[in-house]
Structures are given as structure tokens and as C-alpha cells.
Structure 1
Amino acid sequence: MVAEQVVEHRAFDRPDEVREFENGRLELLNMAGGTVGRLILRPGWQWSRHVRPVAGTEWCEAPHFQYQISGRLHVAMSDGGEFESGPGSVTSLPQGHDAWVVGDEDVVLVDWYGATDYAKQA
């Protein structure tokens, strides 16, 4: 007997959950036993200014595995490392970081790992 395969097809224009925060938004889709998120971060957004008050932690504690669609993002790690990413970047980012939008274009990211608890009230 062959197990039946189920196809799921979803789009971010109808997310299961939306979390709004100053200068940003997270849209979540729950599917295939997991969660995928789309982060839209507007110019001026910085995790430590706009999400830390919601998260209640010193650093972002959500690990991320994400693909960047647009914009420039600067990431500072708690160990002192820093880097900047742009469109087409794929990042595996451990917990313990801050980040901010560089320039005047929205940063749009698709996150397959850390979105579940991102910007969730502490």
C-alpha cells in the first residue's frame, strides 16, 4: 500500500497569522507540519528598537534560516561578528543577534526556521 501524498499550495496574501510591530510585519503560513514566515522590514527598522520590547530579550533569540528577496540588512552578532546581506542571500543565523535595515528599500525575507516565535509577546 502506498501512502497518499497531500499537496499544499498557499500564498502570503492569505496568511494564517500576522504580527505587526513598529516599522515591520511578519506573516505566517502553517503548512506541511511546519511554519514559514515572510518578514517585511521597512527603512528605519532595527530589531533592538522595534522588536526587543515585544520579545523582552537582550538579543534576538530566534534562529533563522532565511532567503532575502529585497533590501539590505546589517546583522550584528552577540559575539562581535557583523555582516550585511542583500537580495538573493540565504542566511543560517543562530540566536543572539541584532539587525537593521540599511538604506531606503524594504527588506523582505522568507524564513523557514525562526518565524514561529518571532515578535511573539514575551
Structure 2
Amino acid sequence: MSDKHNIATPHERRPFQAHGHMDVVTLGDFTLGRGVFEPGWRWSNDVKPIAGTESCQTHHTGICLEGQMTVRFDDGTELDVGPGDVVDLSPGHDAWTVGDTACVFVDTGVKGYAKPA
């Protein structure tokens, strides 16, 4: 069976505490999200209160469409992500938007992301 749904009218919008949201489309077992991480967004401030974990425990796989984000893993290493970068991010990290432009990121690892624990 084939199916489609446009991300412009997502099945679900998950607002962050402030500074953005995640639009989510689910087709069968496949879930895709488009995150809009506004300037000032930081996982530890905007999603941690929702997730209830010390660091982000989601395995993200996706592509940055615009803007910039820095990801700091629990071991202290950092990764800068910008437009066109395709990433595979292990669980156990914090992240924040860099600069005054929203970071827009398409992510396949969002089935449980930014949902209350």
C-alpha cells in the first residue's frame, strides 16, 4: 500500500516550551518530522521539561535545510550542523540554535521526540 501526506499540514504539531515546534507526519510505521528551532532554542531549556530526561535520548537521522545548530554530546564532544548536512546523532546530547536564523531540520528519529514522558 502506498500513502502520502504533505508536511505543510502535519498530523501533529509538537510545540517546544518556547522557540519553535516539530511538525510530524506518520505513514504506517514511518514517522518524519520537520523541526523549526527558532533563535534562542536550546534542548535543555525547550525540550528537557517535556522529555523529563537529563539529555536528549532520541537517535536523530536527518538533514539540516537552513540555519545552524550545535550539538554537544554527553562526553563533551561537539558537532556543528548547517544547511545540507546529513547527520546520524546518537542519543545523549544537548543542542542549541546558533545565530539569529531559525534552524530547520528534517528528522526521521522523532516518533517520541518532544512528547511528554
- TM-score over 0.5 (shorter chain): yes
Residue 43 of structure 1 pairs with residue 39 of structure 2: yes
Percent of aligned pairs with the same amino acid? 41
- Mapped pair 1:7 → 2:2: yes
Q: Please tell me whether residue 17 in structure 1 is matched to residue 9 in structure 2.
A: no
2:63 equivalent in structure 1: 67
Distance (Å, rounded) in 1 between the aligned partners of 2:77 and 2:29: 34
TM-score normalised over the length of structure 2: 0.95
Q: In 2, distance between residues paired with 1:54 and 1:76?
A: 19
Answer yes or no: is 1:76 the counterpart of 2:72: yes
Q: Tell me by how many angstroms 1:7 deviates.
A: 3.1
User: In the alignment, does 2:57 pair up with 1:91?
Assistant: no
Q: Which ranges in structure 2 are unaligned for 5 or more consecutive residues?
A: none
**Bigger Rg over Cα:** 1
Residue-by-residue CA offset, 1:8-54 (whole Å, 9 max, x unaligned): 23211111111111101011111152111110000000000111011
Counterpart of 2:15 in 1: which secondary structure?
Answer: strand
Is 1:115 matched up with 2:115? no
Please give the alpha-carbon distance, in whole angstroms, between the structure 1 residues aligned to 2:98 and 2:20. Answer: 14
Letter of the 2:110 partner, please give it: A
TM-score by length of 1: 0.91
